[in-house]
Amino acid sequence: DADVTQTPRNRITKTGKRIMLECSQTKGHDRMYWYRQDPGLGLRLIYYSFDVKDINKGEISDGYSVSRQAQAKFSLSLESAIPNQTALYFCATSDPGQAPGGQYFGPGTRLTVL
Amino acid sequence: SQQGEEDPQALSIQEGENATMNCSYKTSINNLQWYRQNSGRGLVHLILIRSNEREKHSGRLRVTLDTSKKSSSLLITASRAADTASYFCATDKTGANNLFFGTGTRLTVIP
């Protein structure tokens, strides 16, 4: 079973709709992240959380909100989706105390806003 | 803004050849990481090099880091068709709590 899972994997929605993307992990990591990827722009950080009570904005948090329901679950919401939020969204986890280091990524959610 | 920039943006080589990708960054770092992404899929962590290290190896991968030039390179030796993917560098900036990703190098290995 995958260590980091994301649901849904694909979603098409309309402008103005509220959307929730969910992420679950079985790695036991405290740190979780949400990124979006646009063609030619690499990954940009939306929000990150270092534990259940710690939520931080990333580079591009406007238009998004998050909820850390448990150590293993971190959800991303688009309150009122707009077309320029069409992108590939990734959840990731990390534990800086574990070798070899780095972040572990989910398979991604492809979101299309019409 | 992006912290790292990879060069070249795209690279096409024959199977068996070596592939070299470069990454430049702007500020001081704790470490630099390389990731691989197959088309449309999640990123996979390849290797991490700390700011006090100059070279690191993992299988067919060799990473160098020059903090004076704020640059890193990733060398993949004896490339295989299965190495075809995008490769990203990511920097763990001093004083920051998250990674900053570059825009990636698209590697194509021709069988």
Given a cut of 50, the residues of chain A with pLDDT beneath it are none
Residues 6+ apart with CB under 8 A from A68: A32, A49, A51, A52, A53, A54, A55, A74
pLDDT tens-place string over residues B6-37: 889 999 999 999 999 999 999 899 999 999 99
What local confidence, expressed as pLDDT, does residue A42 receive?
83
| Distance separating alpha carbons of residues A48 and B38, to the nearest angstrom | 24
pLDDT tens-place string over residues B55-96: 999 999 999 999 999 999 999 999 999 999 999 999 988 767
CA of A80 to nearest chain B CA: how many angstroms apart? Answer: 25
Q: Which of B20, B13, B6 is nearest to B109 (CA)?
A: B13
Is the predicted pLDDT of residue B3 greater than 70, yes or no?
no
What local confidence, expressed as pLDDT, does residue B1 receive?
46
Measured between beta carbons, the chain B residues lying within 8 angstroms of A88 are 40
Measured between beta carbons, the chain A residues lying within 8 angstroms of B43 are 43, 90, 92, 103, 105
